[in-house]
Amino acid sequence: MAHVDTVRVRWSEVDPYNHLNHALYLTFFEQARIDALAEIGFSMGQLQALGCQIVVTEVAVKFVKSALGGDDVRIETEMLETRRVSTSWRQRMYREDELLATIDLTAAITDLHGRPRRLPDGFAQALQQLASQS
């Protein structure tokens, strides 16, 4: 089941057209992934204590409509696939029921020096809580 976060677009995050700055979509999506991981018991600190980190290796963003200053946006985060040393994610941003943006990304699991490593014990099972239902 997808993890859901709600975030308000702050006025300092918009461009002169009152649109959320395009680069900040990545920040919003990343924070939602971090929150989702913490919710399933694998916060960034916990992963680091296990000697690993998650490193984004590929990202594709599709902008559909602009998020505007003052909007409350909902971000849905789901796991698409878990492999030995990587994960695939899909996230969607909505204003109410209106789709604003989507992101598909792949992230590698590495040790603290950036070398690929297997997922820590229990991580793949915990990620199933975020698995896509489609």
Which pLDDT value is given to residue 133?
72
Residue with tokens 């990620």, as numbered in its chain? 127
79-95 mean pLDDT: 96
Identify the DSSP state of 61. Answer: E
More confident residue, 72 or 2: 72
pLDDT tens digits, residue range 27-56? 999 999 999 999 999 999 999 999 999 999
pTM of the model: 0.94
46-70 mean pLDDT: 97
Over 90: is that where the pLDDT of 1 sits?
no
Indicate the domain borders of the chain: 3-130
Q: Please answer whether residues 22 and 63 qualify as being in contact, where contact means their C-beta atoms are separated by less than 8 angstroms.
A: yes
| CATH number of the domain located at residue range(s) 3-130 in this protein | 3.10.129.10
Average pLDDT of the residues of the chain: 95
Paired with 115 in beta bridges are none
What distances in angstroms separate CA 23 from CA 28, 35, 37, 116, one per listed residue?
9, 19, 22, 27
Over 70: is that where the pLDDT of 134 sits?
no
Nearest to 87 by CA among 95, 78, 96: 78
Which pLDDT value is given to residue 83?
93
Which pLDDT value is given to residue 100?
98
Which pLDDT value is given to residue 32?
97
What distances in angstroms separate CA 55 from CA 45, 46, 51, 113, 128, one per listed residue?
14, 15, 13, 11, 19
- The model's confidence at residue 21, banded by pLDDT at 50, 70 and 90, is very high
